[in-house]
């Protein structure tokens, strides 16, 4: 089932790439969220966080991807968090190095965000990401894109004046 979802996401991405007329448009938050949801496992209650996050990616105003370690990622669903897509940094509340769903929060930070109005967003669900499957799918997408470019007819040159 996971393999079928991955292939469906791959097909959608290839079609979207081909529709872009040889340009590489950035995927929307909804498309990126769908991609990671296809690689997410069953919800877990919590995960361990030692020190700082390796990285994070906002996926709209109700989800984000966090990387506690380079080869470990989690998809966090949060209550509506209007500032999340515009944040340059986040902080996670956690107790004893454990981030727990329905208890801990995400707080967006950044130069354009006002501190008094900043409201923490409750984490409603945590799902582990199959990082190896993400890498494999991205590689398949790169190969499909390269094949599509090599099979495309050469672009016409604009008429000279």
Q: How many domains does the chain have?
A: 2
What distance in Å separates the CA atoms of residue 109 and residue 97, rounded to the nearest whole number? Answer: 21
Clarify whether residues 61 and 139 are in a common domain. Answer: no
- pLDDT for 150 equals 77
pLDDT at position 99: 96
pTM of the model: 0.75
Query: Looking at the structure, do residues 80 and 25 belong to the same domain, yes or no?
Result: no
pLDDT tens digit string along 95-119? 889 999 999 999 998 877 666 557 8
Classify residue 159: in a domain, yes or no: no
Please check whether residue 32 lies inside any domain of the structure.
Answer: yes
The token duo for 149 is 């470019």
Report CA Rg, the chain: 19
| Pairing, β 63-69 against β 72-78 | antiparallel
- pLDDT of 32 strictly over 70: yes
Encoded tokens for 12 = 């959608």
For the ranges 8-12, 28-32, 121-125, the lowest mean pLDDT is seen at 8-12
Query: For residue 158, is it within any domain?
Result: no
**Cα pseudo-dihedral 39, 43, 46, 47, rounded to 10:** -20
Q: Can you give the residue range of the structural domain that contains 24?
A: 1-39+130-150
Q: What 3-state DSSP class applies to 5?
A: helix
Q: Provide, for the chain, the percentages of residues in helix, strand and coil under a 3-state DSSP scheme, each rounded to the nearest 5.
A: 30, 30, 40
pLDDT at 90 over 80: yes
């Amino acid at each position: 089932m996971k393999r079928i979802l991955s292939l469906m996401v791959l097909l959608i991405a290839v079609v979207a790439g081909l529709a872009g007329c040889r340009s590489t448009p950035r995927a929307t938050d909804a498309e990126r969220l769908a991609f990671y949801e296809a690689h997410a496992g069953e919800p877990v209650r919590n995960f361990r966080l030692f020190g700082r996050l390796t990285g994070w990616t906002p996926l709209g105003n109700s989800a984000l991807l966090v990387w506690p370690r380079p080869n470990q990622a989690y998809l966090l669903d949060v209550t509506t968090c209007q500032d999340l897509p515009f944040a340059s940094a986040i902080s996670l509340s956690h107790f004893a190095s454990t981030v727990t769903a329905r208890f801990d929060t995400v707080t967006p930070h950044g130069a354009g965000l006002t501190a008094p109005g900043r409201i923490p967003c409750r984490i409603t669900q945590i799902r582990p990401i199959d990082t190896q499957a993400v890498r494999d799918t991205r590689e398949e997408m790169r190969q499909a894109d390269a094949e599509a470019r090599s099979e495309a007819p050469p672009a016409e040159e604009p008429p000279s004046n």
